[in-house]
Amino acid sequence: MDNNLEIFEYRYMDNTIKKNREKALKNYLLNEETDELQFYDLNMYYKDNTISSIILSQTNRSVVNKDIILNRYQMEILNILNDNNLFLSAPTSFGKTFLMLEFIKRNEKKLNNIIFIIPTLALMNELLKKIYNLFSDTYNICINSSEEIKEKNIFVFVPERSDREFLEKTKEIKIDFLIFDEIYKLQASSSNEIKTDDRLIYMNKVYLDLVNKAEKIALLGPYINNVTFGKTKLNIVKYYTNFMPVYNKMLILANEESWLDFIKLEHQLIYFSSPGAIYKNIESILQKIPEDEKYIEMYEREIRYLEKSVSADWYVVSLLKRGIGIHHGKTPMYLRKFYENEYNKNNIKVLLCTNTLMEGINTPTNSLIVVDDPKSAFKLNNLIGRVGRLNLENPTIGEIIISNESILSNINDSSGWFDLNILAEDDEINDEDEIIYLNKKYDDINKQKKLEEKIDVLNSSGVTINDIVGHNLQFNKTYQYITNKVYDDLCRNNQIIDFVKIGLKLFKPGPGYHFKTERYKDLNYEYEYLPYKYYLVDLLLNKTYKQIVDSFNAKYNLSGNKENINLFIDSLYELNNFIKFKFSKFVNYIELHKDDSISSNKQLQQFIGILSNYKSLDTAYKILDDLGINEEDSRKILEFLNITNIISTSVVIKLIRQNKDLLLQQDLTPFTKNNISNI
């Protein structure tokens, strides 16, 4: 990395120009007035035969999509990237990720290893499809560390997939281009988040490891007003722009008006702050929107499958009968992909969603209802940026409906842009993991002494800092694991429920909140929590959701209360996610001290084996899950495609595409078939 570059800052943030641009676009959309389009860099909408327009269309034409003419800001950014690192802050509708694909396409011959770090699986899946369509003939595409690396590779990773194996592999190759998307995810919202969210620390570790190695870097994010690189001292061009080539009209509902009256069943997103907020409104939505025979017939097989495998009373079934989808963090991946596919094809008309969908997924919409307060100008801007996104062939006015005026209080500042403080770039220490993973140091001698005392305790037990980092463990959890003699406690027991109870003490806060009886109505159960530890065991032992739900109804939900059923089903999916992404890491701690005690405890061996399967599913299974393949179909598909060894994502997608017609004739769940047809 060249440390002698002269670094510039580009700042196109004039709010007057922004308002005039919106006015010019409004006049064009309503009255077909074209006079001001070119002046405000909106000439991509205006098609004429003048020499200047012809020249512009040739010199600024995208190589990724021949129908798109890049604006002057986008061309300027591509030129900057030719010789510099780039930090790009631009609104959601600007096309930041598209520009990165454009740059790669223009430089395929000299870029051999490219890494995209994406904050969420939903974003990764969206990007993966675009990358495969554009680059599968040129690059090997990888989404897991165990995949084979070839001469030219594009890695698309979420931070939790960027494990030790992946980081070790990157040491062996030259990283030609690193793209870190949604860079604001590297900032902590509070000191408590640093202590409780180990994913945040690890995401920043991945950032540090990769930016110090990459030849060229692009850091992308929306609505960031300023950023500093205090520790890495990155030589990087900073580019800030508020350019938005869209116009949206906004409607603020009066106190007596209900957002329910504005549901159109015409390609509309409805935003809620959390899954719980959606649940509270589902009954009102069901009462407002009647079942529709069109959707009952269209999704007959999907409805029948959900009724048989989960519950006929699941709200997912009731909504699907109305042409409504639901997309949030607790929604299983096969359902998420199904909803995205059907919404983009304009089959499903309404999506109830949270930030899981709204943060970057390409779900074009001309109508958005904001039911809940996003709690910040940044989040509100990010929502609004999803509406009326650039459509050259058929530009339209977007519609944004705000449920009450108080939500707008968050946008009354200078458009809500914020200063970004990347955790890894900051010297402040809120948790000892920052010292272990982010190369920070205590200035306070007493704090440093206490840390060293803890390290000495660990060393005396045969556990080093390298062991902690190598197994991706949290320092304080490791200290608790060693000092509380958790391993000895495990070896003294021989029942899976005992192992689960011991492990849950280490992983606080656990999943208990979702099973607090006060969240349910009129249960036949007298204790504070439903027996979620036994449900966790049921999931580990592969009991079906329907079996567990039926048992819950028979024992505790004697009235058959539907709200209870739905809350319980979502709690089970949340419990399964807890096992996959948190509790399975219990294996990493156990591996610190494996000895002969395990070989004589068959039940403990079985428990470790089950958790290991959760933690390290075969590469092909992970790939299929990310593509929206229902878990129960994975083995059938792997056998049909004759996949027996570790292969890359690009190979799996290629095999599915080549055999799509035959696969769709197999005995697979309807959701899998839908998602396969859209791969």
**Residues 213 and 294 placed together within one structural domain of the fold:** no
Name which residue leads in pLDDT, 394 or 609: 609
Residue 127 lies in a domain: yes
**Residues 253 and 149 placed together within one structural domain of the fold:** no
Residue in this structure with the two tokens 């974003």, named with its chain if needed: 123
Question: Per DSSP, what are the bridge partners of residue 249?
Answer: 399
**Residues 179 and 306 placed together within one structural domain of the fold:** no
What pLDDT is attached to residue 12?
86
Cα separation, 200 vs 490, whole angstroms: 29
For residue 293, what pLDDT band results from cuts at 50, 70 and 90?
Answer: very high
Whether the pLDDT of residue 602 is over 70: the answer is: yes
**Residues 253 and 382 placed together within one structural domain of the fold:** yes
Backbone torsions φ then ψ of 41, nearest 5 degrees: 60, 35
Residue 533 lies in a domain: no
Residue 5 lies in a domain: no
Average pLDDT over residues 340-356: 87
Average pLDDT over residues 580-602: 80
The domain spanning residue 328 has which CATH number? 3.40.50.300
**Residues 92 and 202 placed together within one structural domain of the fold:** yes
Domain final residue, candidates 395, 414, 433: 414
**Residues 153 and 24 placed together within one structural domain of the fold:** no
Distant-in-sequence contacts of 455-464, Cβ < 8 A, 24+ apart: 457/482, 457/483, 458/482, 461/593, 462/592, 462/593, 463/592, 463/593
Nearest 5 degrees, angle CA 444-CA 449-CA 452?
Answer: 130
Cα separation, 219 vs 440, whole angstroms: 22
Lowest mean pLDDT among 195-199, 218-222, 615-619: 615-619
Burial class (CB in 10 A: 0-12, 13-18, 19+), 184: buried
For residue 285, what pLDDT band results from cuts at 50, 70 and 90?
Answer: very high
Cα separation, 544 vs 675, whole angstroms: 22
**Residues 201 and 303 placed together within one structural domain of the fold:** no
**Residues 31 and 93 placed together within one structural domain of the fold:** no
**Residues 287 and 324 placed together within one structural domain of the fold:** yes
Residues 446-476 pLDDT 10s? 999 999 999 999 999 989 998 898 888 889 9
What pLDDT is attached to residue 162?
61
The answer to whether the beta carbons of residues 92 and 182 sit under 8 Å apart is: no
**Residues 130 and 199 placed together within one structural domain of the fold:** yes
**Residues 231 and 271 placed together within one structural domain of the fold:** no
Residue 437 lies in a domain: no
- Structural domain total, the chain: 4
Range of the domain at 624: 617-677
Domain final residue, candidates 216, 241, 266: 241
Whether the pLDDT of residue 238 is over 70: the answer is: yes
Average pLDDT over residues 298-306: 95
Name which residue leads in pLDDT, 624 or 320: 320
Average pLDDT over residues 119-131: 77
Residue 438 lies in a domain: no
Say what the pTM is.
0.82
Whether the pLDDT of residue 5 is over 60: the answer is: no
**Residues 194 and 262 placed together within one structural domain of the fold:** no
Residue 466 lies in a domain: no
Residue 116 lies in a domain: yes
Whether the pLDDT of residue 43 is over 80: the answer is: no
